């Protein structure tokens, strides 16, 4: 049996993986242990945790009912964490991959589960120098989980496109918008989810995975979208590490509105839309490769459109839901990606402007501090202050 916890409908939680960098070189540094030691015994200890690599920390919101609550929570964590980072001589940035860091130079955290992951996955496991954002949305009935998961899978390309922030790998332009997406799915339990007709089918899958030794714990299933039974949520893990708070909030609002809309439609007796499995595979690849320029398969009738056009229509459709949930302004930010550029576009523009991947890393540091995307002007205006894209 896989028990699904009770959770209030459409409640939220966000996990945001951050890279620790040297303020001068902007290269990754293996100092997460120092950060965690410095906050041990404080309220931050429950909100800042370690990850697989010692260059990574993850900030974790509490359970919130609104996107505004998530914003306040994440800001408060960083407000408390900043002095700790400053005292240790550290900066943070976020992107799906670091622009120039080498995976060979990174250290794995000394936990048994990470050691086993590396032992099992070897070369690909050692390459997991990647960062993501995970959004949890509460589901008020276990019977809704799998239909909502199947419907959400149709929105992987939307989220992959706006959340693509990993064009570079080891100082090389991969010509993908999200190289992270392509790399992460190399792990044996990562990638698009398997879809099941009922909870018993999902339970049978989990039982078989444990019996055959593929997993020991349910959390070792690392799908792009997955049930999180312990929390009573669905967890959306599609996006690369988003570089700014405003982008995290945009994606959070979009996901919350989708899930709440699906939940209401199930309550009304509707059947949620789905598409053939191969459509999902193709859409994920297109969005990872082309990002905001992807032509995606929009529905089960195989109609195709530019992903930004589809997103704009979805934002309009979901706006009444957003107003009810109190996240209309944040949902509207989903359309900003088409004008300000997704993270991968801003990084490439910065490289073209400056000729330096160090400048790209500096842009990422400045964007994280600013909470909004910045323009490709070496990340500094003439007066030395960050220069934002116009709205």
Q: For every one of its 391 residues, what pLDDT tens digit does the chain have, with 9 covering 90 and above?
A: 899 998 999 999 999 999 999 999 999 999 999 999 999 999 999 999 999 999 999 999 999 999 999 999 999 999 999 999 999 999 999 999 999 999 999 999 988 888 888 888 998 989 999 999 999 999 999 999 999 999 999 999 999 999 999 999 999 999 999 999 999 999 999 999 999 999 999 999 999 999 999 999 999 999 999 999 999 999 999 999 999 999 999 999 999 999 999 999 999 999 999 999 999 999 999 999 999 999 999 999 999 999 999 999 999 999 999 999 999 999 999 999 999 999 999 999 999 999 999 999 999 999 999 999 997 553 443 233 333 332 2
* Tokens found for residue 72: 């306040």
Mind giving me the DSSP string for 64-125? BSSHHHHHHHHHHHHHHHHHHHHHHT-EEE--SS-SS--GGG--B-S-HHHHHHHHHHHHHH
Predicted confidence at residue 384, as pLDDT, reads 33
Spatial distance between the Cα atoms of 243 and 35, rounded to a whole number of angstroms: 20
Check the CA dihedral 284-289-290-295 and report its sign. negative
Spatial distance between the Cα atoms of 305 and 27, rounded to a whole number of angstroms: 39
14 contacts 47 by C-beta, under 8 angstroms: no
275 contacts 299 by C-beta, under 8 angstroms: yes
315 CB-near residues (< 8 Å, 6+ apart): 254, 331, 332, 334, 335
Secondary structure string (H, E, C) spanning 269-290: CCCCCCCCHHHHHHHHHHHHHH
Predicted confidence at residue 196, as pLDDT, reads 96
Distance (Å) of CA 279 to CA 158, 183, 284, 304: 13, 20, 9, 11
Residue 55 backbone dihedrals phi, psi, to 5 degrees: -95, 5
Q: pTM score, two decimals?
A: 0.95
* Tokens found for residue 178: 């999200």
DSSP H or E segment with residue 299: none
Beta bridge partners of 13: 136
**What would the CATH number be for the domain defined by 12-370?**
3.30.590.20
166 contacts 179 by C-beta, under 8 angstroms: yes
23 contacts 89 by C-beta, under 8 angstroms: yes
Spatial distance between the Cα atoms of 128 and 149, rounded to a whole number of angstroms: 25
Spatial distance between the Cα atoms of 175 and 288, rounded to a whole number of angstroms: 10
Burial label, 74 (beta-carbon count in 10 A; 0-12, 13-18, 19+): buried
299 contacts 173 by C-beta, under 8 angstroms: no
Of 282, 26, 284, 102, the residue nearest 178 (C-alpha): 284
């Amino acid at each position: 049996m896989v028990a699904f916890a009770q959770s209030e409908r459409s409640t939220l939680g966000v996990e945001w993986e951050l890279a620790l960098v040297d303020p001068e070189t902007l290269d990754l540094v293996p100092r997460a242990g120092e950060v965690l030691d410095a906050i041990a015994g404080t309220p931050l200890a429950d909100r800042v945790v370690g990850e697989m690599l010692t260059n990574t920390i993850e900030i974790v919101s509490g359970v919130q009912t609104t996107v505004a609550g998530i914003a306040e929570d994440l800001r408060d964590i960083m407000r408390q964490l900043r002095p700790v980072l400053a005292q240790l001589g550290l900066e943070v940035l976020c992107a799906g991959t670091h622009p120039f860091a080498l995976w060979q130079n990174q250290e794995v955290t000394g936990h048994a589960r990470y050691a086993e992951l590396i032992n099992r996955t070897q070369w690909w496991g050692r390459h997991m120098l990647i960062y993501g954002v995970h959004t949890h949305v509460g589901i008020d009935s276990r019977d809704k989980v799998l239909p909502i998961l199947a419907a959400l899978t149709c929105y992987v390309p939307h989220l992959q496109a706006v959340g693509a922030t990993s064009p570079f790998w080891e100082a090389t332009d991969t010509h993908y918008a999200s190289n992270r997406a392509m790399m992460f799915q190399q792990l044996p339990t990562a990638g698009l989810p398997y879809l099941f007709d009922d909870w018993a089918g999902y339970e049978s899958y989990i039982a078989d995975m444990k019996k055959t030794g593929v997993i020991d714990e349910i959390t070792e299933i690392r799908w792009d979208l997955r049930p999180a039974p312990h929390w009573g949520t669905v967890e959306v893990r599609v996006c690369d590490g988003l570089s700014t708070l405003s982008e995290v909030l945009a994606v959070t609002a979009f996901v919350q509105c989708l899930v709440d809309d699906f939940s209401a439609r199930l309550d009304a007796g509707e059947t949620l839309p789905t598409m053939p499995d191969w459509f999902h595979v193709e859409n994920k690849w297109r969005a990872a490769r082309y990002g905001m320029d992807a032509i995606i398969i929009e529905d089960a009738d195989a109609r195709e459109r530019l992903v930004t056009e589809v997103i704009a229509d979805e934002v309009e459709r979901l706006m009444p839901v957003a107003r009810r949930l109190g996240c209309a302004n944040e949902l509207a930010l989903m359309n900003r990606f088409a004008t300000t550029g997704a993270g991968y576009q801003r990084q490439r523009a910065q490289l073209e402007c400056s000729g330096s991947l160090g400048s790209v890393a500096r842009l990422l540091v400045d964007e994280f501090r600013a909470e909004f995307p910045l323009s490709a002007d070496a990340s500094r205006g003439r007066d030395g202050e960050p220069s934002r894209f116009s709205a």
